[in-house]
């Protein structure tokens, strides 16, 4: 085992399968479930091929800094290196929690290059809302914006919402399937509450056509509407609003966090809203805000 050196070729398949299952239990995104084990397989193979005996993660990361990019000329981007580092740290957690062994990931990586998710300005968000129609799908679009922008949910959190997770009598939305299965409550007030309840009482019953369905977001056939379909609806709104930015559902989450910070909300409050485990993750919005110049109107 790892504690005696590193993983053998015979052990590798079981380790990768266990890591993938652990990621599933932690409720990570499908992209992490797919690519995470592939990155760790590359890590294990490289360490074995080069007979690395100590400081496996650090040696591998130094290799990544000079490794050629397989998809385009040049080396790996800063964002890709950060993804690898995050995966190595996840793998360390897995080993400690499941195998009782420790993988030293003593890596401090800083770069002058800063990458961010695309952020919509407040005026662009208003244009998105204005682009919605007054029909059943349009009312659902407004509920989608309320969930992802107004409540700041992650893509899978919004797609996994149940009708019972909406608690209008308490003005709360219950996130039962947050990252690492951490539950939280998010306030729904003002227009956010109005748009969610209008969808529930007007649009959703029309889409159901008599069917019974527990999921909050449903399609025209009365069945669950997943993340990819919600993203397609967002793209249509972006096109109609003439917003030429590569935005996804997660961009709405980053946008509301940045806007709340700009309006004076504390990092602690924003971290609680977004479901961050530590303030370190929330600190990124201070850097984003410093680099942004946008119209508040």
CATH for 54: 1.10.150
Rounded CA separation 176/162 (Å): 9
- List the pLDDT tens digit at each of the 297 positions of the chain: 454 457 877 889 999 999 999 998 887 877 888 899 999 999 999 998 888 888 899 999 999 988 888 777 778 888 788 889 989 999 999 998 887 888 888 787 765 444 446 789 999 999 999 999 999 999 999 999 999 999 999 888 999 999 999 999 999 999 986 665 678 999 999 999 999 999 999 999 999 988 889 999 999 988 999 888 999 999 999 999 999 888 889 889 989 988 988 888 888 888 888 887 666 656 666 656 655 555 444
Please indicate, yes or no, if residue 242 is contained in any of the structural domains: yes
For residues 45, 51, 52 and 54, what is the CA-based torsion angle, rounded to 10 degrees? 130
What is the four-CA torsion angle of 152, 155, 159, 163, rounded to 10 degrees? -10
Q: Are 218 and 123 in contact (CB under 8 A)?
A: no
Q: What is the pLDDT of residue 113?
A: 44
CA distance 4 to 53: 10
One domain for residues 143 and 180: yes
Tokens encoding 131: 């682009």
Q: Is 96 a catalytic residue?
A: no
Can you tell me the distance from the alpha carbon of 200 to that of 107, in angstroms, rounded to the nearest whole number? 48
Whether 91 is covered by a domain: the verdict is: yes
Catalytic residue (one of 155, 193, 253, 254): 253
Check: CB of residue 249 under 8 Å from CB of residue 161: no
Q: Report the C-alpha gap between 59 and 89 in whole angstroms.
A: 14
For residue 1, the model assigns a pLDDT of 47
Domain boundaries, position 58: 2-99
Residues 237 and 177 in one domain: yes
Output the DSSP codes for 106-150: ------S---------HHHHHHHHHT--SSHHHHHHHHHHIIIII
Q: What is the pLDDT of residue 169?
A: 95
Number of domains, the chain:
2
Q: Which helix (H) or strand (E) holds 8?
A: none
The pLDDT value given to residue 78? 80
Residues 201 and 283 in one domain: yes
SS3 at position 192: helix
Threshold 0.85, pTM exceeds: no
| The pLDDT value given to residue 291 | 54
Query: What pLDDT score was predicted for residue 270?
Result: 83
Q: What gap in Å lies between CA 246 and CA 253, rounded to an integer? A: 14
Question: Where is the domain boundary, 47, 64, 99?
Answer: 99
Predicted local distance difference test score (pLDDT) of residue 70: 79
What is the distance between the alpha carbons of residues 234 and 137, in angstroms, rounded to a whole number? Answer: 12
* Domain identity same for 213 and 71: no
Which phi-psi region, left, alpha or beta, contains residue 80 (left: φ > 0; alpha: ψ -120 to 50)? Answer: alpha
Domain C-terminal end among 41, 65, 99:
99
CATH number assigned to the domain comprising residue 151? 1.10.443.10
Residue 159 inside a domain? The answer is yes
Is-catalytic flag, 154? yes
Residue 67 inside a domain? The answer is yes
Is there a single domain that holds both residue 132 and residue 72? no
75 shares a domain with 138: no
3-state secondary structure of 194: helix
237 and 144, same domain (yes or no): yes
User: Are residue 94 and residue 126 in the same domain, yes or no?
Assistant: no
Name the nearest CA neighbour of 113 among 71, 145, 81. 81
Measured between its terminal Cα atoms, the distance across the chain in Å is: 59
Q: Is residue 296 part of a domain?
A: no
254 is catalytic: no
Is 276 annotated as catalytic?
Answer: yes
Are 175 and 247 part of one and the same domain? Answer: yes
pLDDT of residue 104: 84
**Out of 154, 155, 204, 254, which one is annotated catalytic?**
154
Do 227 and 178 share a domain, yes or no? yes
Instruction: For residue 107, tell me if it sits in a domain.
Output: no
Question: Quick one: 92 and 127 in the same domain?
Answer: no
Q: Which of 93, 184, 250, 272 is catalytic?
A: 250
Tell me if 115 sits within 8 A of 81, measured CB to CB. no
Catalytic hit among 179, 182, 184, 240: 179
Q: Do both 85 and 139 map to the same domain?
A: no
Domain-terminating residue out of 43, 66, 99: 99
Residue 285 appears among annotated catalytic residues: yes
């Amino acid at each position: 085992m790892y504690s005696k050196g590193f993983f053998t070729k015979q052990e590798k398949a079981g380790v990768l399968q266990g890591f993938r299952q652990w990621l599933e239990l932690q409720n990570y995104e499908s992209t992490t479930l797919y690519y995470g084990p592939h990155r760790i397989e590359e890590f294990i193979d490289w360490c074995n091929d080069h007979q690395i005996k100590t400081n496996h993660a650090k040696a591998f990361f130094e290799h990544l800094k000079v490794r050629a990019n397989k998809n385009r000329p040049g080396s790996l981007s800063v964002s890709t290196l950060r993804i690898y580092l995050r995966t190595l740290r996840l793998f360390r957690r897995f080993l400690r929690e499941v195998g009782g062994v420790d993988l030293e990931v003593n890596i401090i990586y800083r770069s002058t290059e800063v990458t961010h998710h695309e952020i919509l300005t407040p005026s662009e968000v208003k244009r998105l809302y204005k682009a919605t129609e007054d029909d059943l799908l349009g009312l659902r679009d407004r509920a989608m914006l309320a969930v992802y922008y107004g409540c700041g949910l992650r893509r899978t959190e919004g797609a996994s919402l149940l009708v019972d997770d909406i608690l209008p009598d308490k003005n709360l939305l219950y996130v039962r399937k947050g990252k690492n299965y951490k539950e939280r409550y998010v306030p729904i007030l003002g227009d956010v509450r109005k748009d969610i309840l209008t969808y529930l009482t007007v649009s959703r019953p029309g889409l159901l056509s008599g069917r019974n369905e527990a999921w909050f977001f449903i399609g025209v056939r009365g069945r669950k509407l997943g993340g990819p379909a919600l993203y397609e609806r967002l793209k249509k709104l972006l096109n109609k609003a003439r917003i030429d930015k590569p935005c996804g559902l997660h961009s709405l989450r980053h946008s509301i966090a940045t806007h709340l910070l700009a309006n004076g909300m504390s990092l602690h409050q924003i971290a609680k809203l977004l479901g961050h485990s530590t303030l370190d993750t929330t600190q990124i919005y201070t850097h984003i805000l410093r680099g942004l110049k946008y119209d508040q109107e």
